[in-house]
Chain A
Amino acid sequence: MTTLPLPKDPSPLTPAKPKRIINSESWIMRVATLFSGAFLIIFVLLPLLELIRKSTENRQGEFVGIDNYIQYFSTPSLVSSFFNSIYISAMSTAITVVLAFIFAYALTRTCMPFKGVLKTLALLPIFAPSLLHGIAFIYLFGNQGILTNGVFNFMLRLIGGYDIQNVPALPFDLRFNIDLYKAPTGIILAEVFYLFPHVLLILTIALSLTDGRLYEAALALRTPRWRTFLTVTLPSVRYGLISACFVAFTLVMTDFGIPKVIGDGVNVLATDIYKQVIGQQNFFMGSTVSVLLLTPTIIGFVIDRIAQRRQVATLTARAVPYQPKPNKTVDRLMLFLCVLIVSAILVVIGTALLASFVNVWPYKLELSGRHYDFSRVAGGGLSAYWNSLFMAGLTAVFGTLTVFISAYFIEKGQGLSRTRALLYFMSVMPVALPGLVLGLAYIFFFNRPSNPLHFIYGTMPILVLSTIVHFYTVSFFTATTALKQIDKEFEAVSASLSVPFYRTFLRVTFPISLPAILEIGIYYFINALTTVSAVIFLYSANLKLASVTIVSMDDAGDTAPAAAMSMLLFFTGIGVRLVYEALTRGVTRRTQIWRQK
């Protein structure tokens, strides 16, 4: 700059213009913040309060205080499902967290080969509705199940095309009977398959955020491997573990699909709500059970929040990523365990796939595509599938916009700091709301003729809105994390240049966050496609969804078409993901050039 010829006029380059006064800008910000607040109040807070109020009323609508709760706890069959739920959730959480930890450890901390393939396969169940695991378990462990009657016996019949009468029971065979319909074991195992990818994702992230220098320090101090594991590895992932436990426990506690399909003899809270509301039209007991279902998830939620708050940045900017070193014994052992886990996952999905293609299980074990013709079975047939696609598309578009814009105002807004803190809390709340509870709350709130939004009841918008709220929190965290990574001074710089914030939002913040935004979109789409719990209370007879028809088909005994529909959703999810990957690769290449050095 020293060589630059000096301007003749020594005054600043060009005379400063008087700045425009933009007071409207802060108003826009305030109004937008209040608008996202209104969304959360109308679609989270008020329905929930209505649900709690309903649990304190009797059939005549009179206030009865805690009478419903007293009645609940004095009915032994109802109380037992409360403890069943806790037992099943705790067991499947414990098993899944241990297995997923081993898997995540192998992925992040060892030199095990085939990491990419194994991880992709392990995450496959994320595309499946939980119902698929339930249905697969019927074919594995049910009365006519492969494992109940012996694997070799089944193989003979499948290959030989024998009738069942002609195949003698083999004296030796792989045979397991877990008493699928009577004991909780079946539900617990099926839930493990459903949970595994969710827990694996959390633990992989937790284990990959580590400082390699700590391990080098431990090594330099001649610390034995097991002690390093106890003093370095475990403490660094303890918050990830707490999070994983909370997510797993809540998912099982609130899962409706698996106990609905295989839990005939084992009552749990989630199915109780359904039975009370759909079976007995007892909305008051339904809301009482809902509030009870809410209690453990809210306790878990609070513990998780406290843990997250205590988590100080263990990873500083100077941390060096951990580089695993080859260790033949460990790597081989881990490969063996991971292949075992992945095989089990593939067996379950493969069973559902097989079941959807077998003509008449177990009598005619020839392959046929007839179960994919949904016109002859209960449920809405293929139109339900198209409804689901449409619903998932709308949810992805509107959910992503709502979440991202509202996260933007909560994270980057100025003023109204109390309101924004409150909004943050309300945005985090939906994760503790089971889908069934949300669905029931929506019935109470939006089905009231006095509600000005009554007209959305039984229509596509309420299905979309309930799904947006149901999966709000995870999307919100994705958006917030992306926004937090953006320099917090961008808005200050824009203000100093008199550029209104919404311009900077459109020109800078939005393009930078595009990868996260697309990720939220695909998350919404896949979940909207497979969810059952909230929408099962909200669909109407002429607006059925694919996931709901799986329940109706299974109820009507059409298990094979139910398996077919599950597989259809599963493959749709994978297909959409692949298309998304291909498309975003193009979009990312064009919009994210600036990321390249």
Chain B
Amino acid sequence: MLQNPQKLSYLVIKNLNKTFSKFKALDNVSLEVMAGEFICFLGPSGCGKTTLLRCIAGLEEQDSGQIIQAGQDITGFTPSQRDFGIVFQSYALFPNLTASQNVAYGLVNTKTPRKVIQERVKELLSLVSLVDMGHKYPAQLSGGQQQRVALARALALSPGLLLLDEPLSALDARVRASLRAELFELQRRIGVTTIMVTHDQEEALTLADRIVVMNQGSIQQIGTPEEIYRSPQTPFVADFIGEMNFLEATVSQHGWVDCSGYPLRVSRLSGMPTGTIVRLAIRPEDIDIHTGSPQENTLQATVQYYEFLGSFYRLKLKAESISFMLDVPMSQARHLSFAQDALISVHLPADFLHVYSS
């Protein structure tokens, strides 16, 4: 199944709805997850991503909709009837049991011989690089180690589906980065279909095969990290992931818009009638500082201020009534000189200008 993971559908969610008193947590959510895939649910807090995960686990009951896992309709199943392992942000390790006992917790119940359990626990602990820590209690382990124990426990019964509810959020930045890399490697190795909830876009972009961006209970966009970043389908996705400049404009003629008096050519304008008010979006790193002779989509702007951000400079620019940001990588900045109030000429490439109806 790993040889061709993209072909097999493993989890299908159809028209899921869930309301908490008056708050709509899930609004007609549909989704298909392939076997072996790593999916991230990404969105701001309260967007419904955790509710969706809990519905898949059966910890939350949906109002309507259907969930199919491995070809079986599991909609009405209790959590213990479903086939999944779960890791929580709080780890939820049993504090009075040692790391080994925690990992063995689900195995003991399967009437497996003690010796087999011991071997399996050892195997799982070595999988998360904690072989020598088995005798320790959770309070004696660091946050990162606790989360690995939780991961080993979730994998103990070899579940078909691994659910991760913000597993890295409680850790400090350095541990988070290293555990992220380990998680990535581990998931690719054992090939378990994985769904992770996160509000951290960097986590989603680096880990996921596909990202599901959610807002206000509905799915905004599903796609690979590149698709989500390069072609955000809605202003929300454009704004939520990475940095984005938004500009107001009016469609002037086919393929052209007028932005505060500047005519801009856009390549993604699809049949909007002249006079339509639109929102343009362009990432700061997609705008160039123009040095040659004037051409289309070039405008003169004043540097209001600039920030040094390590590997690049971020310039805050103003041209007439439009303000926008521009990122200059260090390699390029060395050859340029910009100062406050300087007038520079910038180029907004038509291919990078996203157009949204407002």
Which A residues have a C-beta under 8 Å from some C-beta of B? 1-2, 4, 6, 10-17, 19, 21-23, 25-26, 487, 489-490, 492-500, 503-504, 507-508, 511-512, 591-597
Q: Which of B181-189, B231-239, B283-291 contacts A (4 or more CB under 8 A)?
A: B181-189
Asked whether A495 and B92 contact (CB < 8 A) given A1-B186, A11-B1, A13-B158, the answer is: no
Is B138 interfacial (CB-CB < 8 Å)? yes
Chain A contact surface mostly: loop
Which partner residue on chain B sits nearest A597 by CB separation?
A: B139
Which B residues touch A22, using CB under 8 A?
78, 80-81
Which B residues have a C-beta under 8 Å from some C-beta of A? 1-2, 57-59, 78-86, 88, 90-92, 94-97, 105-106, 109-110, 120, 123-124, 126-129, 137-140, 153-160, 163, 182, 185-186, 189-192
- Identify A25's interface contact among B78, B155, B185, B190, CB under 8 A: B78
Q: A1–B185 contact, CB under 8 A?
A: yes
A-B contact pairs, 14 of them (CB 8 A): A10-B2, A13-B127, A487-B90, A492-B79, A492-B86, A492-B88, A495-B59, A495-B80, A497-B85, A504-B94, A594-B95, A594-B96, A594-B139, A596-B137
**A341 CA to B123 CA in the complex, in Å?**
64
- Identify A594's interface contact among B2, B126, B137, B153, CB under 8 A: B137
* A to B contact number (C-beta, < 8 Å): 134
Q: B1–A500 contact, CB under 8 A?
A: no
- B208: shortest Cβ distance to chain A, in Å? 20
**A594 CA to B138 CA in the complex, in Å?**
8
**Residue in A17, A489, A490 whose Cβ sees the most chain B Cβ within 10 Å:** A489
- Identify B92's interface contact among A1, A14, A487, CB under 8 A: A487
Which A residues touch B140, using CB under 8 A?
596-597
Further pairs besides A11-B191, A13-B120, A497-B156: 14, Cβ < 8 Å: A1-B182, A1-B185, A2-B185, A4-B127, A12-B191, A13-B158, A16-B157, A16-B158, A16-B160, A25-B80, A487-B90, A498-B157, A594-B138, A596-B139
Q: A498–B128 contact, CB under 8 A?
A: no
- Identify B97's interface contact among A13, A495, A508, CB under 8 A: A508
Asked whether A19 and B80 contact (CB < 8 A) given A492-B92, A497-B105, A594-B95, the answer is: yes
Asked whether A499 and B109 contact (CB < 8 A) given A16-B157, A596-B139, the answer is: yes
- A532: shortest Cβ distance to chain B, in Å? 40
- Identify A496's interface contact among B86, B120, B126, B128, CB under 8 A: B86
Q: A21–B90 contact, CB under 8 A?
A: no
Which B residues touch A4, using CB under 8 A?
126-127, 129
Q: A13–B96 contact, CB under 8 A?
A: no
Which partner residue on chain B sits nearest A5 by CB separation?
A: B126
Which A residues touch B153, using CB under 8 A?
493, 497
Q: B86–A17 contact, CB under 8 A?
A: no
Q: B158–A14 contact, CB under 8 A?
A: yes
Q: B159–A16 contact, CB under 8 A?
A: yes
**A379 CA to B197 CA in the complex, in Å?**
69
Q: B2–A11 contact, CB under 8 A?
A: yes
Q: A593–B137 contact, CB under 8 A?
A: yes
- B163: shortest Cβ distance to chain A, in Å? 8
Asked whether A495 and B88 contact (CB < 8 A) given A1-B129, A1-B182, A11-B1, the answer is: no
- Listed from nearest, the 5 A-B pairs whose CB atoms lie closest are A497-B106, A495-B79, A489-B92, A594-B137, A1-B129
- B334: shortest Cβ distance to chain A, in Å? 37
Which B residues touch A11, using CB under 8 A?
1-2, 191
Which B residues touch A592, using CB under 8 A?
96
Which B residues touch A17, using CB under 8 A?
110, 157
Which A residues touch B97, using CB under 8 A?
507-508, 594
Q: B123–A13 contact, CB under 8 A?
A: yes
Which A residues touch B128, using CB under 8 A?
1
Q: B191–A499 contact, CB under 8 A?
A: no
**A500 CA to B80 CA in the complex, in Å?**
8
**A16 CA to B82 CA in the complex, in Å?**
12
Which B residues touch A511, using CB under 8 A?
96
**A6 CA to B91 CA in the complex, in Å?**
26
Asked whether A23 and B78 contact (CB < 8 A) given A508-B94, A508-B97, the answer is: yes
- Identify A595's interface contact among B124, B139, B154, B190, CB under 8 A: B139
Which partner residue on chain B sits nearest A593 by CB separation?
A: B137
Q: B106–A498 contact, CB under 8 A?
A: yes
Which partner residue on chain B sits nearest A512 by CB separation?
A: B96
**A22 CA to B88 CA in the complex, in Å?**
23
- Identify A12's interface contact among B137, B139, B158, B185, CB under 8 A: B158
- Identify A14's interface contact among B2, B120, B137, CB under 8 A: B120
Which A residues touch B158, using CB under 8 A?
12-16
- B116: shortest Cβ distance to chain A, in Å? 9
- Identify B109's interface contact among A25, A497, A508, A594, CB under 8 A: A497
**Residue in B79, B123, B126, B140 whose Cβ sees the most chain A Cβ within 10 Å:** B79
Q: A493–B189 contact, CB under 8 A?
A: no
Which A residues touch B190, using CB under 8 A?
12-13
Which B residues touch A23, using CB under 8 A?
78, 81
Which partner residue on chain B sits nearest A13 by CB separation?
A: B158
**A11 CA to B189 CA in the complex, in Å?**
9
**A275 CA to B156 CA in the complex, in Å?**
68
**A11 CA to B190 CA in the complex, in Å?**
6
Which partner residue on chain B sits nearest A487 by CB separation?
A: B92
Which partner residue on chain A sits nearest B86 by CB separation?
A: A496
Which partner residue on chain B sits nearest A496 by CB separation?
A: B86
Which partner residue on chain B sits nearest A23 by CB separation?
A: B78
- B179: shortest Cβ distance to chain A, in Å? 10
Q: B185–A13 contact, CB under 8 A?
A: no
**A11 CA to B186 CA in the complex, in Å?**
12
Which A residues touch B191, using CB under 8 A?
10-12
Which B residues touch A499, using CB under 8 A?
80, 105-106, 109
Which partner residue on chain B sits nearest A489 by CB separation?
A: B92
**A591 CA to B96 CA in the complex, in Å?**
8
**A16 CA to B90 CA in the complex, in Å?**
26
- A283: shortest Cβ distance to chain B, in Å? 47
- A207: shortest Cβ distance to chain B, in Å? 28
- A271: shortest Cβ distance to chain B, in Å? 49
Asked whether A498 and B80 contact (CB < 8 A) given A594-B138, A596-B139, the answer is: yes
Q: A6–B78 contact, CB under 8 A?
A: no
Which B residues touch A14, using CB under 8 A?
120, 158
Which B residues touch A10, using CB under 8 A?
2, 189, 191
**A25 CA to B153 CA in the complex, in Å?**
22
Which B residues touch A591, using CB under 8 A?
96
- A498: shortest Cβ distance to chain B, in Å? 5
Asked whether A490 and B94 contact (CB < 8 A) given A499-B105, A503-B109, the answer is: yes
**A361 CA to B109 CA in the complex, in Å?**
70
- B240: shortest Cβ distance to chain A, in Å? 27
- A496: shortest Cβ distance to chain B, in Å? 5
Which B residues touch A507, using CB under 8 A?
94, 97
Which B residues touch A492, using CB under 8 A?
57, 59, 79, 86, 88, 92
Which B residues touch A593, using CB under 8 A?
137
Q: A493–B88 contact, CB under 8 A?
A: yes
Q: B57–A496 contact, CB under 8 A?
A: yes
Q: A496–B154 contact, CB under 8 A?
A: yes
Which B residues touch A2, using CB under 8 A?
182, 185
Asked whether A497 and B157 contact (CB < 8 A) given A4-B127, A17-B110, A503-B109, the answer is: yes
**A451 CA to B56 CA in the complex, in Å?**
49
Which partner residue on chain B sits nearest A26 by CB separation?
A: B78
- B46: shortest Cβ distance to chain A, in Å? 19
Q: A489–B90 contact, CB under 8 A?
A: yes
Which A residues touch B127, using CB under 8 A?
1, 4, 13
- A353: shortest Cβ distance to chain B, in Å? 44
**A597 CA to B95 CA in the complex, in Å?**
11
**A495 CA to B84 CA in the complex, in Å?**
10
Which A residues touch B186, using CB under 8 A?
1
**A19 CA to B92 CA in the complex, in Å?**
22
